[in-house]
Amino acid sequence: MERSMLRRRALAACTATVAVGALALAGLTGTASADPAPHTPTASADSAQLSPGLLKAMQRDLGLTASEARSRVANEARATAVTAGLRYSLGDDFAGARVSGDTARLTVSTTDASDAARIAKAGARAEVVDHSLAELDTAKAALDRVALRKAPEDVPSWYVDVSTNRVVVQAGKTSAAEAFLARAGVDRALVKIAHSTEQPRTFADLRGGDAYYMNGSGRCSIGFPVKRGTQSGFVSAGHCGRAGTTTSGYNQQAQGSFQGSTFPGRDYSWIATNANWTPRPLVNGYGNADITVTGSTEAIEGQSVCRSGSTTGWHCGTIQQRNSSVTYQEGTVTPVTRTNVCAEPGDSGGSFISGSQAQGVTSGGTGNCSQGGVTYFQPINAALQAYGVTLVTNGGGPTTPPDPSDPPNPGGTWAVGTTYAAGDVVTYGSASYRCLQGHLAQPGWTPPNVPALWQAL
């Protein structure tokens, strides 16, 4: 068993190392096509598809030049690929990953010092810590279960912080945090309590704007266009409306209605539109070229991320923590991703995107875009899976969400969490397949199920 684990780690580590070269190589083709699964973008493709509006927002909010912004996106794409391989390779030792600095330097944490050489060989900085990511996630899940039954008072948010290797609980009073931990039975050694005066709120309660309106009154922002079969629509925030709520578009023309909505607990919804509305794989550029969406590969901590909303347009920042929970007046929402991107009412439901990869829909937060603040987004892949809808990507094709009912892996070399390059050959069960497009393997995207990615040999 131990020998088999070592072989698996060595293979995955090699995959992570090779992924960097594969990305650069793939970029030489200059091609881009629709992909039915979230995939890791090539460095050159992502850079080439950045709109002037997004570049300007990154320059303004991150203090970068246009060249630095393009370089950062390329480096972050490489970091995402390397992280995927190392996460699989390190197994239970994996304790998180993050990028830092304008060059997006990758740091990967592990609980086993013997993993350091493997991490360094993959091109990342190794950090040895006490607690695995799985251990911290389990502790946070215990807090979530308690909060979803009854939202904690004076505890605005909590999250897994890979940089400190702790679950951070933000609270107005230490006693409130201690009481919350006691109710959940969480080991205090896993937790860091941080004082906070934040009072998170959702952003759907202000008026006006040009995105979409609910029942002719309140306003929110479209997240991402999606399809379910032949039905077109889009995903947005759950707090924007309930099932049956009608919507009109930015032009005040009839648009559609909410088909599903969850809030609190989660904060996502999907709206079906009438035949007058055509879904495009685009994010509004607000006076500049629109952003083309090519997939939904999840970004890591420290990575740059930008938001488009109908109140404040484009604003950028970085991902602070992915596995976060936040308590609004209406209740707790988890898991959400915490960012230092600003937002204001009316931006709710709007697009969060990193490079050309869809990340999520704006949920809520604190502050504003005059003084800055904290904003949380609901990850896009969770919304896609919840409603069985598919993300519309470049070329007009959708990406298909994972199907949790898929049968278990029948054996072979194909594995979730591995970054594959065009031309790679894998086995799945008794059959062999050749990779047609570079991508990050996700649950449900098995070779027999995604002929756009794999060709049977």
Catalytic residues: 239, 267, 348
How far apart, in Å, do the first and last CA atoms of the chain sit?
Answer: 30
Q: Strand, coil or helix: what is 220?
A: strand
- Phi, psi (deg, nearest 5) at residue 341: -80, 135
* Angle (CA) 141 147 153, round 5°: 135
Give the residue carrying structure tokens 């904060």: 267
Provide the strand spans (E) within 59-144.
94-100, 105-110, 125-128
Burial of 432 (0-12, 13-18, 19+ CB in 10 A): middle
CA distances from residue 171 to 256, 327, 361 in whole angstroms, order as listed: 40, 11, 25
- HSE at residue 62, side-chain half, CA atoms within 13 A, is 33
Q: Of 121, 101, 40, which is closest to residue 299 (Cα–Cα)? A: 40
Q: Do 379 and 369 meet the contact criterion of CB atoms below 8 Å apart?
A: no
Q: Can you tell me the distance from the alpha carbon of 188 to that of 390, in angstroms, rounded to the nearest whole number? A: 41
Q: Which distant-in-sequence residues (6+ apart) come within 8 Å of 448 by Cβ?
A: 428, 431, 454, 456
Q: Strand, coil or helix: what is 259?
A: strand
- For residue 161 the two structure tokens come to 């912080």
Q: Do 456 and 446 meet the contact criterion of CB atoms below 8 Å apart?
A: no
- Phi, psi (deg, nearest 5) at residue 290: -65, 155
Q: Do 304 and 314 meet the contact criterion of CB atoms below 8 Å apart?
A: no
Q: Of 16, 326, 291, 102, which is closest to residue 201 (Cα–Cα)? A: 326
- For residue 72 the two structure tokens come to 């950062």
Q: Do 374 and 388 meet the contact criterion of CB atoms below 8 Å apart?
A: no
